[in-house]
Amino acid sequence: MFSKTCEYAIRAMIFIAQKSKDSSKVGIKEIAKGIDSPEHFIAKILQRLGGKGLVQSQKGPNGGFYLDKKHLACSLSRIVSVLDGDKIFTGCGLGLTECSESYPCPIHNQFKKVRKDMQQMLEKAKLNEFTEKLEQNLTFLKRK
């Protein structure tokens, strides 16, 4: 569904959101451990997201990644579209570049609905809404 890049990214962003609640920063090692991802890989992904302004960071001792109030309200769909593009939201299920209402592939209408539901779901999902359940150990960002 999503690329590995995107899966790690969402997990990392939710993790950073959790840690940013009390406006503290979190280092890349802790993030990598916290979401069980390759350290250098997630580092590069966060660089990309930082470049696009989705996450903030600070170098040097006591530095790290963080999210201010505004960025805590970032939606998952934003992360997906920045990293994977919006093919998943608007692309044809059968890979036709010209697929559209007026030139539909055979599953255009059915697929359109599923796509839209996915988009709306990710649109509604904001980074800061996951913190509480994580703290209560009702949801998880890494394997047991």
Given the rule CB under 8 A, which residues bind a second copy? 1-2, 4, 7-8, 10-11, 14, 76, 87-88, 91, 93-99, 103-108, 110-111, 113-114, 117-118, 121, 125, 130, 133-134, 138-144
> Which long-range CB contacts under 8 A does 51-56 form with residues at least 24 apart?
52/82, 54/13, 54/78, 54/79, 54/82, 55/13, 55/16
Phi, psi values for residue 126, rounded to 5°: -105, 150
Select the binding partner of residue 5 from a second copy, DNA, none (C-beta < 5 to 8 A, by kind). DNA
Which of 44, 52, 113, 133 forms a contact with DNA (CB under 7 A)? 44
Q: Which is nearer to a second copy, 28 or 92 (CB)?
A: 92
What H or E segment, with its residue span, contains residue 77?
helix 76-84
User: Residue 41 binds which one of a second copy, DNA, none, with CB within 5 to 8 A depending on kind?
Assistant: DNA
Structure tokens at 19: 């840690």
Q: What is the nearest approach in angstroms of DNA to the Cβ of residue 136? A: 26
Q: Which two tokens stand for residue 80?
A: 């997906």
Distance CA 115, CA 108 (A): 10
Query: Given the structure tokens 């997906």, which residue do they identify?
Result: 80
Residue 66 contact among DNA, a second copy, none, beta carbon within 5 to 8 Å by kind: none
User: Binding residues for DNA, per CB under 7 A?
Assistant: 3-5, 8, 26-29, 37-41, 43-44, 46-47, 50-51, 57-65
